[in-house]
Structure 1
Amino acid sequence: MPDGKEKAISVYPLLMVNFIGTMGISLVLPFLIFLVERFGGNALVYGLLSSMYPFFQLIGSPLLGKWSDIYGRKKILFVSQAGTLFSWILFFIALFVPVTILVNIDSDILGKFMVTLPLLMLFIARGLDGLTGGNVSVSNAYVADISNDGNRSKNFGKLSISTNLGFIVGPALAGILSATVYGEALPVLAAILIAFVGTVMIALYIPDTCSNKADTVMLNVCPYPKSGRMAGEKHKNSIRDVWKIPALRLMFIIYFLLFLGFNTFYTAFPVHAANYLQWSIAELGIFFSFLSIVLVIVEGPVLSYVSKRSRDSSMIIGGSFILGLNFVVLALGNTFFTYMAAVLLALGNGLMWPSIQSMLARLAGNDDQGLVQGLSGSVMSFAAIFGLIGGGLIYELAGRWSFLLTAAIIACVFVLSMRLRSFDATGSQE
């Protein structure tokens, strides 16, 4: 590679795209349950609708990740964002479709609900968004492309900050917009506009990380500096090949357990807050805003300071221990312990999660970054399906002590993370 031809790519345009994408998603979440009930569904239908995104992301994420290795990150990011835009347009149209009953169900097991035309459209919209929802895995691969060992954890921390900021702004904006005479239509329209802005930003401001022309000198951030493979050239490795690599297989298992624990928590905690703590919707919103703010602090200056002095494996081990302790404290009950647990959750997750992303990116190597990130997205989706369905059921059986089960799951992550020291020391997949 000739000197003077190298060019660094800024992470900030991608952070802005990630922020507005997360904000668009979180805009609709607060009132989705009310839409489902208005269109004839019940709690079971709401659970199924919530699982549509991760279910179809399970299918689409590895494909989009692999295609980003072949055709370039920018093209696949654009396709993924365009799919999100179209899904929100379909979602918006569903708000104005007459509630036409397609199937009427009255079951002792499933409960009483109706399958209506607008409800069916919501299912299609969420499924389409999930199928094209590889933007998370492709964004991770993009950050890996433009990072080095010195700033990888810091860049993934910035990516997590942009996500958390989106989840802070989105629900607050949804509350303001839905209070108008236009009801839910205005927040959904805002989600459409936000998705459109994201699509335009990808088209205009996100450079690709690999040249598409053989006669063009590749940038130093090209995902294939060793092999020199160009866009469209045959991709040799498959999902099975990646799974055979011990270090990556261990990372995928850690991913699964981590997201199983988190989705179990995020399903059970609102029930716990409403029934045991007797919180209102406003109090629950304040708690999640507090949690997000502490996460931003940890993933910003705290992570920047610690990452310069610790290896990724050390932060994963320490972070998983703190994260598991958070669920033990949460099981003690009352508001004081709940907020203490929130600080521990933010500290543990804020140190551990960017480090896991950083280590996975490094272990993936140059040739299969998109494929590996896509597979990790599928593992996350697989865990989300089990966690979303099982979290509420487990809480119904065990109450607040169900958080001890989540702590046990994270304890498994802590134990498995010990094995990462050898891979962190060698930097090898083998």
Structure 2
Amino acid sequence: MKTYRIHRLIYIIGFLDLFGVSLILPLILPLVKNLGVSHFTAGCVTSVYGAIQLLSSPVVGRWSDNVGRRRVILVCLLLTAISYFVLGSSQSLLVIILGRGIAGIFKHSQTVCRALLADITSPEERSQVFGTFNATSSMGFIVGPMLGGHIAELKDGFSVVCNLGALFFLLDFVLCWMIIPDTLQMQPQSAKTKLESGNRSQLYAFMKDINWQTFWDVFLIRFFLSFSTLVYRSNFSLLVVQNFGASPKVIGYLISFQGIISAMAGFFMGPVSKFYRNSQRELYYGSLLLTLSLLGLTVAPSLTLLMVCLVPLCVSSAVIRVSGTAVTISRCEPSKIGSVTGFGQSITSVARMVTPLIAGISQEISVYGPGMMGTVSAGIGAALSGYIACKKALKED
């Protein structure tokens, strides 16, 4: 099968993936809060997913380096579907934790898809391909939140939404099974190594092998920028309810609006990357825009101004995803693309794990707490990305 056809199929898988996620994700935190728990307890429950992904991401990435992307994607899709069936089977706190725990272990289809795209795409075309993948995936957030918000208001709506999301992952599984070839032969021969034996775990082995001098700065930037967006978005539903009295339908429309902007931005990432011709500089400017947008969102006095500030938030997030991935992969050996991509996802998982807790505590203090924390974190990420951009420029001079 020609490479461009594989690209298109992966784009479809990415779209259905985030379509299924976007049906459910905005409803989880309000559901947990409706069970009568505090902001802090709700943060603990929603942090389960990120805590587990911290450990599972590098293992799954390294596993895909050894056994092939197709097999790992199939396992991830099938068990993610099961996790959503579990999540929708009951609205008790224990079942919610169980469902999110299973997803935390196996919801890595997007990460493995990016590793597969890196395998089959030349370095010159990666920004365009990653941007298109992010754009088509983000299109799932256009319809999903609106549909999920409407269904959630029906009787047993949350269970229906979860089951529908699981069906989308099963559809992805069927498409991957029928169409995506076994691409292990596409990877460099050095990638086809056996799993390490001995007493060390795969995660520990990879953490010991990774060249921290090469990746420490980009991993640190990824943490601060991920934290900045997640600390705001993790409490987004509650923030718009408390500040503006928004209903589930309105929340769905707001998240769908972000999906539209993110998709449009993703499709333009190829020309943007060609304009900058420097992923480090692109990452820096994206970080600055993210900082300003979060500051605007924090102090927005109305829904209209909040929507205006959501535009640069989505654009900057699209720029950061593509440029951050490009910077990381440009420093990576071909045989470790899956492992490094997985470990990079673990950095995001650390942020995802701590943000619900910190956002919950900060919101107990002030409704503006999550936004201000996100602004500060984005500012730190912008400073660090400016540092690596300057370092790159000095080397070129």
The residue number in structure 1 matching 2:275 is: 309
Query: Could you list the runs of 5+ residues in structure 2 that have no partner in the other structure?
Result: none
Shift of 1:159: 2.1
The residue number in structure 2 matching 1:48 is: 44
Summarize deviations over 1:350-376 as a string: whole Å, max 9, x none: 222211112212222201111111111
8 Å CA contact 2:12, 2:136 repeated in 1: yes
The residue number in structure 2 matching 1:256 is: 223
Question: 1:155-170 to 2 correspondence within 5 Å?
Answer: 155-170=129-144
- 2:303 is the counterpart of 1:329: no
Note closer, same or farther for the CA distance 1:231–1:81 as it changes in structure 2 (3 Å cut): farther
The residue number in structure 1 matching 2:251 is: 284
8 Å CA contact 2:19, 2:140 repeated in 1: yes
8 Å CA contact 2:284, 2:385 repeated in 1: yes
Summarize deviations over 1:103-123 as a string: whole Å, max 9, x none: xxxxxxxxxxxxxxx532332
Query: Could you list the runs of 5+ residues in structure 1 that have no partner in the other structure?
Result: 96-117, 212-221
Larger deviation, residues 171-180 vs 151-160: 171-180
8 Å CA contact 1:161, 1:300 repeated in 2: yes
Q: What amino acid sits opposite 1:223 in the alignment? A: Q
Q: What amino acid sits opposite 1:13 in the alignment? A: L
The residue number in structure 2 matching 1:63 is: 59
- 2:144 is the counterpart of 1:148: no
Shift of 1:380: 0.8
Larger relative contact order (CA 8 Å, sep ≥ 6): 2
Summarize deviations over 1:268-308 as a string: whole Å, max 9, x none: 4434322334444443333322222122111113x222112
The residue number in structure 1 matching 2:306 is: 338
Shift of 1:349: 1.8
Shift of 1:13: 1.2
Summarize deviations over 1:165-223 as a string: whole Å, max 9, x none: 22222222223444555533322221222121111112122223322xxxxxxxxxx33
Q: Which residue of 160, 172, 185 maps to 2:146? A: 172
Normalising by structure 2, we get a TM-score of 0.87
CA distance in 2: counterparts of 1:87 and 1:63, whole angstroms: 19
Shift of 1:389: 1.1
Shift of 1:256: 0.9
8 Å CA contact 2:30, 2:238 repeated in 1: no
- 2:68 is the counterpart of 1:72: yes
8 Å CA contact 2:329, 2:337 repeated in 1: yes
Summarize deviations over 1:11-50 as a string: whole Å, max 9, x none: 1211211221222222223443565467776655543332
8 Å CA contact 1:261, 1:409 repeated in 2: yes
The residue number in structure 2 matching 1:230 is: 192
1 or 2, which has the higher helix percentage? 2
Question: 1:405-424 to 2 correspondence within 5 Å?
Answer: 405-421=373-389
Shift of 1:322: 0.9
Question: 1:181-220 to 2 correspondence within 5 Å?
Answer: 183-211=157-185
Summarize deviations over 1:126-173 as a string: whole Å, max 9, x none: 101111122232222112112222211111112221332222222222
8 Å CA contact 2:191, 2:336 repeated in 1: no
Q: What amino acid sits opposite 2:223 in the alignment? A: F
Q: Report how many residues are paired.
A: 388
Note closer, same or farther for the CA distance 1:49–1:233 as it changes in structure 2 (3 Å cut): closer
The residue matched to 2:187 in structure 1 has which SS? coil
Percentage of matched positions with identical amino acids = 22
Q: Which residue of 305, 316, 320 maps to 2:287? A: 320
8 Å CA contact 1:57, 1:131 repeated in 2: yes
Shift of 1:70: 0.9
Q: What amino acid sits opposite 1:322 in the alignment? A: L
Summarize deviations over 1:63-96 as a string: whole Å, max 9, x none: 111111111111111111121122223334446x
CA distance in 1: counterparts of 2:166 and 2:331, whole angstroms: 37
The residue number in structure 1 matching 2:355 is: 387
CA distance in 1: counterparts of 2:180 and 2:130, whole angstroms: 17
Note closer, same or farther for the CA distance 1:86–1:423 as it changes in structure 2 (3 Å cut): farther
Q: Which residue of 332, 335, 352 maps to 1:364? A: 332
CA distance in 2: counterparts of 1:192 and 1:294, whole angstroms: 26
Note closer, same or farther for the CA distance 1:248–1:144 as it changes in structure 2 (3 Å cut): same
Larger Rg, first or second structure (1 or 2): 1
Normalising by structure 1, we get a TM-score of 0.81
The residue number in structure 2 matching 1:21 is: 17
CA distance in 1: counterparts of 2:110 and 2:193, whole angstroms: 21
Q: Which residue of 233, 255, 261 maps to 1:294? A: 261
CA distance in 1: counterparts of 2:248 and 2:155, whole angstroms: 21
CA distance in 2: counterparts of 1:179 and 1:285, whole angstroms: 12
8 Å CA contact 1:164, 1:295 repeated in 2: yes
CA distance in 1: counterparts of 2:307 and 2:338, whole angstroms: 37
The residue matched to 1:309 in structure 2 has which SS? helix
8 Å CA contact 1:36, 1:42 repeated in 2: no
8 Å CA contact 2:43, 2:356 repeated in 1: yes
Note the aligned Cα RMSD (angstroms): 3.0
8 Å CA contact 1:140, 1:357 repeated in 2: no
Q: What amino acid sits opposite 1:373 in the alignment? A: T
CA distance in 2: counterparts of 1:36 and 1:279, whole angstroms: 17
Note closer, same or farther for the CA distance 1:342–1:136 as it changes in structure 2 (3 Å cut): same
8 Å CA contact 2:111, 2:345 repeated in 1: yes
Note closer, same or farther for the CA distance 1:126–1:271 as it changes in structure 2 (3 Å cut): closer
Shift of 1:239: 1.5
Shift of 1:265: 0.8
The residue matched to 1:29 in structure 2 has which SS? helix
